[in-house]
Amino acid sequence: MTDQIRLLVVEDVPQVAQYIRGLLNSQTAIKLLDVVSDGNRVLTLIAELRPDVVIVDALLQGRVKGMSVVAQINQSGLHVPVIVLTVPQQPVTVDVYNGVHGVLAMPFTGYELVTRLQQVHVTSKVTEGTGTARMISVFAPKGGVGKTTISFNLAVAIGQTGLRTVLIDGSLQFGDMRALLKVPIEAPSLLDLPTDRIQESDLADVLWRDPSGIDILLAPPRIEMAEMVTVRDLEKVLSLLRRVYEVVIVDTPAVVNDINLAFLDSSDTILEVVTYDSTTIHSTMVMADAFRMIGYPPTKVRYLINRADSTGGFDPEVLNRALGRAPEHSVASGGALVVRANNEGIPFVLADPSAEISQDVTRTANELLGRAVPAPARR
């Protein structure tokens, strides 16, 4: 059978290995290639056996422990999804950036094992098809909370690490990025890309090469032109960009429509900006409900509290309770630096890398990518 899922198991407890073998015995969807007990041998075996999915026991003992094996696989460039096996007392959460594509808590049934393997396998094939870039949409259901400011500076901070980064101005009607960067009206936009047979070579003519080192796909120059962008065209553009770039950041507008949902659907992460303000928090909760209905997993959304130091008397606990958790990221108020940098069309992470707000954005980039992002060089 050609569509069997090829599985490698990293497990040093013989009873558990035997249990998995037993569960897989009576079915044909999964082919167990091998069980390896030594964390040191995992990368070599993956290169040799070419599994579709690897299961790693989080509690693996020996010189290389379970979660280090997971990290090694993630950093190896072998592009194989990993399911972490754990016990309920030591919960592990799915974290694709850090190489945890699925989790199985013991004890599990044969049905659970096979479905989880199939889920992870299908998802990894889909991402392969659209390229391997990480796509992060900066979103908020409320206007004016700092989406454009944060997405621009975040993209630049990520670009500074050497990752090929593209920023998409998803505010198709108002094209905030055009204003921010003072781009001439005739500068090409998303609409200048061919709709069928779009190729990598088409990008060079259309993308705006910003002095800050990132490429920017601009929105159309006039409001009514936004309607000319279809979801289908947009999906093609996104899939091309995800093949060419390593990181795709989208500055989205505060609306819920087909186009914006296409951005959010395609994203690995929705970075949702909140502020200490009761109407913003209300919209955020309404949005969380909508995301649940759409079926986004809770891990797809990460909250960023902007102007984290200006609570305006708001009790941060109230926000945490509303969100059901503390925001994963926070950015301080930048005061005059932000106004000046925005007015000059320069990212503050480059204009003043040591400012608190710049360090916050750089740290957020770091946290989002799960890798070290060095402080950007001074201009």
Enumerate binding residues for ligand ATP (CB under 6 A).
Answer: 140, 143-149, 171, 176, 253-254, 306-307, 331, 333-335, 338-339, 342, 357
Q: How far apart are CA 364 and CA 358, in angstroms?
A: 10
Residue (145 or 216) nearer to ligand ATP, CB = 145
249, 165 Cβ separation under 8 angstroms: yes
Residue (17 or 273) nearer to Mg ion, CB = 273
117, 156 Cβ separation under 8 angstroms: no
Residue 338: name its binding partner from Mg ion, ligand ATP, none (Cβ under 5 to 8 Å by kind): ligand ATP
Q: Is 269 in the site for Mg ion (CB under 5 A)?
A: no
Residue (172 or 207) nearer to ligand ATP, CB = 172
Residue 304: name its binding partner from ligand ATP, Mg ion, none (Cβ under 5 to 8 Å by kind): none
Residue (110 or 221) nearer to ligand ATP, CB = 221
Only one residue has tokens 């044909």, namely 28
Q: How far apart are CA 246 and CA 80, in angstroms?
A: 17
For residues 129-188, which are near Mg ion according to CB under 5 A? 147-148, 176
Q: How far apart are CA 377 and CA 379, in angstroms?
A: 6
Residue 145: name its binding partner from Mg ion, ligand ATP, none (Cβ under 5 to 8 Å by kind): ligand ATP
Give min distance, CB of 269 to ligand ATP, in A: 17
Give min distance, CB of 181 to Mg ion, in A: 13
Give min distance, CB of 210 to ligand ATP, in A: 16
Residue 342: name its binding partner from Mg ion, ligand ATP, none (Cβ under 5 to 8 Å by kind): ligand ATP
Distances (CA, A) of 241 to 138, 369, 378: 17, 18, 28
Residue (120 or 357) nearer to ligand ATP, CB = 357
Crossing angle of helices 356-369 and 147-159, rounded to 10°: 70
Residue (50 or 282) nearer to ligand ATP, CB = 282
Give min distance, CB of 129 to ligand ATP, in A: 31
Crossing angle of helices 110-129 and 14-25, rounded to 10°: 80
Residue (74 or 306) nearer to ligand ATP, CB = 306
Residue 299: Cβ within 10 Å count: 13
Residue 75: Cβ within 10 Å count: 13
**Count of residues touching Mg ion (by CB under 5 A):** 3
Q: How far apart are CA 102 and CA 120, in angstroms?
A: 6
Give min distance, CB of 173 to Mg ion, in A: 11
Give min distance, CB of 170 to Mg ion, in A: 9
| Beta-bridge partner residues of 329 | 304
Give min distance, CB of 167 to Mg ion, in A: 12
Residue nearest to Mg ion (CB): 148
CB-count burial class (<10 Å; 0-12, 13-18, 19+) for 225: middle
- In this structure, what DSSP letter does residue 90 have? S
Residues that bind Mg ion (CB under 5 A): 147-148, 176
